[in-house]
Amino acid sequence: MTDDSVPPPSYEEVLRQEGVIDSPNSSNGQTSTSAGHPSSSSSTLPNYAASSLNSRPVSSSGSGNAYSQAPYPPARPTSQRPNSWQPGNASTMYASPPPSSNYNTAKPPYQTSQFYARPQSSYAPPPSGRPRISYPYPPGYMCYKCHNTGYKDSGRPCGRCARRFGRSYDVQFSRPPPGALVVYPGDPRIPGRVCGNCKGSGQLDFIFFTEICPVCNGVGKIPY
């Protein structure tokens, strides 16, 4: 036969020839001594398995760890700032500045008993040059704006009293006769006193319209 007809050797035969594993006869004679398990001798293990077990790194420090641990990086130096505080006398550290002769630190004592009372409104006489308005006030009535004087504290006529107690002229709206004197409402030449409702203008101005004063009927004055 030629060499091509011979089958190639198997993987186990190659290992036996190289001495990696033992033959079946030698392996059958060895039995385990503990509970039927194979012996833990390294002679029955393959050479590559034994070499892999023996090649495990052992810690050089002798702490018993199977694997060596990487050493920790060195600690970084911490920059320490110089301490500017110097132990000394506390009175010198927190001493107040010396008083200056130009600065007056004395303050007048606060008077807690002092209080500001609102001045009470008094019945002021009517402004000079204006006659006192005498409305027909009912008994016991007191106006809080003018105090029954007809004029407020600002000197302007009281519209509240004029609307409630004022009388008006009998006005007829027509063309004036020839030669009549034409004056504006509230003119000083018109007899009477100034109307407190319209303040002598004879009309009331609203946001969108203007109407004639209902107290003085547009004259600007009311009779005494």
Tokens found for residue 81: 């700032």
Q: How far apart are CA 202 and CA 220, in angstroms?
A: 4
Are 130 and 145 in contact by the 8 Å Cβ rule? The answer is no
CB atoms within 10 A of CB 104: 8
Instruction: For 20-52, give one letter per residue: b (16+ CB within 10 A) or e.
Output: eeeeeeeeeeeeeeeeeeeeeeeeebeeeeeee
Quickly state the pLDDT bin for 156 (edges 50, 70, 90).
confident
Residue 210, SS3?
A: strand
Range scoring the smallest mean pLDDT among 78-92, 109-123, 189-203, 205-219: 109-123
Integer Cα distance of 202 and 192 in angstroms:
14
The contacts of residue 113 (CB under 8 Å, 6+ apart) are: none
Domain coordinates in residue numbering, the chain:
133-177, 183-223
pTM, entire model: 0.32
- The predicted model gives 148-152 an average pLDDT of 83
pLDDT band at 117 (very low <50, low <70, confident <90, very high): very low
pLDDT at 206: 84
Question: What local confidence, expressed as pLDDT, does residue 123 receive?
Answer: 39
Q: What is the mean pLDDT of the chain?
A: 66
Sign of CA dihedral 100, 101, 103, 107: positive
More confident residue, 169 or 178: 178
Residue 116 has pLDDT above 80, yes or no: no
